[in-house]
């Protein structure tokens, strides 16, 4: 498992093709679900086969929350009155399609557009970018730049102007902590075996404590989402220190996906001329002349529901590149589908790589990147696509509450790049698919083994005004059709 990393479960599926199987681990069993048809049945058993204990244990384990917090987090573990369950409900309400979600999406788009300003102007004094006034070319480290922009846009939209990620030292601390999280979580003697990682965690905890103490959430720029995360756990009795530690953990859900997803989406669009033409032509349909002086505008809110090719390319990127695994704990013995006995204390996992590489779900071209796959809506054999097999945002009771926020951010970033710029490897060479064999086991995405430089040039001299208005508020309450549950409710 350690050697094969993200390919481990897929390799076992290919070798044995069991619908579900058991791995014997020290002191427990792991039940690995391969069959897509078992997933809806499993998701209905969210009280007895639960994700809540995973979240509760991560708080008192790698986040270092107090024993008192552990008691609170594990109280009524199978009930809707459990603190973790109530936190999830509060976040779901705060990020449901509507005005509050539109507010964070709008702010994220504003930050992205502003940070791309240096790419549109001829002069730049940044030590990490080179620009010539004649060529109007900017050279950036592809991974570092996209990751930085998405971290800043996301956290600014969520936490407001007091956002700790504004500080370079804090973002650097996060970049150190994130890939080492799993090793740190499994380390038995953290102060001896993972001292630097422990110190980095405590640095971030102190920064979050300062954010709360100095009223960061009271600023109008802070989101309802951020307030909901804080207030629900505070009401249930968590201390200020425990709330700060919880926020370190929450950061994984907030920024763990967007940076890698944007990186791969930009790669797949610009590395394939056919994809670029399709996406660019679709977006140009929404561009409007905005007065004189070469001024144009686009309303990025409209792309959420009116750009099927861009949405399909985004979802195919998620299918092709995401590595996450849905994990649950059996709180009682349960016979799944009237056939498979799952014992109390066992771990149930649904690996995304198994579902996303299923020939039954996606057809014989499953190993090919097909940017129109979700436009076609079938598996290539005339059979209707099984959307349950798309697991990038989970599903059922534990579907990602931030999927509409993240999806809008990601496709908005891509739209801004496609409309404004041409992107290519430095020197005009061919795009080469990067290797990703060293992606951390805790990663939810393929992470490129090495960063590389890209050239970004403005396409033309158009001046842009970016809006985020159409389809917002009550009219936008339907949201994006991202996962099976969204499609069923659309």
Among residues of the chain, what percentage have pLDDT more than 90?
A: 70
State how far the Cα of 308 lies from the Cα of 458, in Å rounded to an integer.
25
| pLDDT score of 487 | 67
The beta-carbon contacts of 364-372 under 8 Å, at least 24 apart in sequence, are 369/268, 369/272, 369/316, 369/317, 369/320, 370/316, 371/268, 371/272, 371/274, 371/275, 371/278, 371/279, 371/309, 371/312, 371/313, 371/316, 372/278, 372/309, 372/312
pLDDT confidence of 441, banded at 50, 70, 90? confident
Model confidence band, residue 399 (pLDDT cutoffs 50, 70, 90): confident
pLDDT digits (tens, 9 = 90+) for 277-292: 999 999 999 999 988 8
Query: Which pLDDT band, with edges at 50, 70 and 90, does 382 fall under?
Result: low
| Domain range annotation of the chain | 1-66+325-356, 82-324+391-489
Q: Which fold has domain 1-66+325-356?
A: 3.30.43
pLDDT at 125 over 50: no
* pLDDT score for 140: 96
Confidence of residue 293 (pLDDT cuts 50, 70, 90): confident
Q: Give pTM, 2 decimals.
A: 0.93
How far apart (Å, rounded) are the C-alpha atoms in residues 305 and 179? 34
Phi, psi of 27 (to 5 degrees): 75, 0
**Region 409-420: what's the mean pLDDT?**
96
DSSP 335: E
Query: 298 forms bridges with which residues in the sheet?
Result: 466
Per-residue pLDDT tens over the stretch 41-85: 999 999 999 999 998 999 999 999 999 999 999 999 998 889 988
Whether the pLDDT of residue 268 is over 80: the answer is yes
316-358 per-position pLDDT tens digit: 999 999 998 999 999 999 999 999 999 999 999 999 999 999 9
Give binding residues as ranges: 400
The β-bridge relationship of strands 295-299 and 463-467 is parallel
Instruction: Choose among 178, 202, 323: nearest CA to 256.
Output: 178
Is 348 within 8 Å of 49 (Cβ atoms)?
A: yes
Instruction: State the Cα–Cα distance between residues 410 and 150, nearest whole angstrom.
Output: 8
Question: Quick count: other Cβ atoms within 10 Å of Cβ 399?
Answer: 18
* pLDDT tier for residue 123 given thresholds of 50, 70 and 90: very low
Q: What are phi and psi of 204, to 5 degrees?
A: -70, -40
Question: How far is 43 from 104, CA to CA, in rounded Å?
Answer: 29
Give the pLDDT of residue 124: 44
Q: Which residues are 21's β-sheet partners? A: 32
**From 3.40.50.2030, 1.10.630.10, 1.20.1740.10, 1.10.645.10, which CATH number describes the 82-324+391-489 domain?**
1.10.630.10
Closest CA to 87 of 69, 103, 108: 69
Q: What are the binding residues for heme?
A: 400
Residues 21-45 have pLDDT tens digits of 999 998 899 999 999 999 999 999 9
Residues whose CB is less than 8 angstroms from the CB of residue 54 and which lie 6 or more positions away in sequence, other chains included: 327, 328, 329
Asked whether the predicted pLDDT for residue 379 surpasses 70, the reply is no
127 has pLDDT over 50: no
């Amino acid at each position: 498992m350690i050697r094969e990393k993200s390919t481990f479960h897929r390799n076992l599926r290919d070798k044995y093709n069991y619908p579900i199987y058991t791995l014997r681990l020290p002191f427990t069993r792991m039940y690995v679900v391969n069959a897509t048809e078992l997933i809806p049945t499993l998701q209905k058993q969210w009280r007895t086969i639960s994700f809540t204990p995973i979240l509760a244990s991560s708080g008192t384990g790698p986040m270092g929350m107090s024993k008192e917090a552990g008691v609170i987090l594990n109280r009524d573990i199978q009930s809707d009155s459990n603190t973790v369950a109530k936190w999830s409900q509060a976040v779901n309400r705060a990020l449901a399609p509507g005005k509050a979600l539109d507010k964070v999406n709008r702010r994220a788009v504003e930050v992205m557009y502003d940070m791309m300003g240096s790419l549109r102007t001829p002069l730049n004094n940044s030590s990490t970018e080179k620009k010539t006034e004649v060529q109007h070319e900017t050279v950036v480290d592809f991974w570092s730049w996209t990751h930085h922009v998405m971290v800043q846009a996301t956290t600014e939209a969520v936490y407001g102007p007091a956002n700790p990620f504004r500080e370079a030292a804090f973002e650097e601390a996060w970049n150190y902590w994130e890939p080492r999280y799993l090793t740190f979580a499994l380390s038995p003697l953290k102060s001896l075996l993972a001292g630097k990682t422990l110190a980095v965690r405590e640095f971030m905890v102190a920064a979050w404590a300062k954010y709360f103490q100095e009223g960061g959430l009271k600023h109008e720029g802070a989101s309802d989402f951020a307030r909901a995360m804080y207030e629900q756990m505070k009401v249930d009795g968590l201390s200020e220190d425990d709330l700060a530690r919880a926020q370190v953990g929450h950061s994984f859900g907030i920024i763990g996906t967007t940076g890698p997803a944007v990186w791969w989406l930009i790669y797949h669009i610009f590395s394939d001329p056919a994809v670029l033409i399709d996406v660019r032509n679709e977006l140009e349909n929404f561009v409007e002349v905005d007065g004189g002086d070469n001024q144009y505008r686009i309303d990025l809110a409209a792309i959420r529901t009116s750009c099927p090719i861009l949405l399909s390319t985004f979802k195919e990127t998620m299918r092709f590149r995401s590595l996450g695994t849905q994990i649950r704990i059996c709180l009682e013995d349960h016979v799944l589908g009237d056939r498979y006995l799952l014992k109390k204390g066992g771990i149930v996992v649904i690996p995304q790589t198994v579902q996303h590489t299923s020939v039954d779900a996606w057809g014989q071209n499953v190993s090919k990147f097909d940017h129109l796959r979700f436009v076609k809506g079938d598996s290539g054999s005339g059979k209707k696509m099984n959307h349950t097999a798309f697991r990038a945002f989970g599903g059922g009771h534990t579907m990602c509450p931030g999927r509409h926020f993240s999806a809008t951010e990601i496709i908005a970033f891509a739209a801004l790049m496609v409309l404004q710029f041409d992107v290519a490897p430095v020197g005009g060479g061919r795009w080469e698919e990067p290797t990703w064999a060293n992606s951390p086991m805790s990663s939810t995405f393929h992470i490129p083994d090495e960063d590389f430089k890209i050239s970004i040039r403005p396409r033309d001299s158009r001046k842009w005004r970016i809006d985020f208005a159409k389809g917002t508020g009550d009219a936008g309450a339907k949201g994006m059709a991202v996962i099976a549950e969204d499609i069923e409710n659309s």
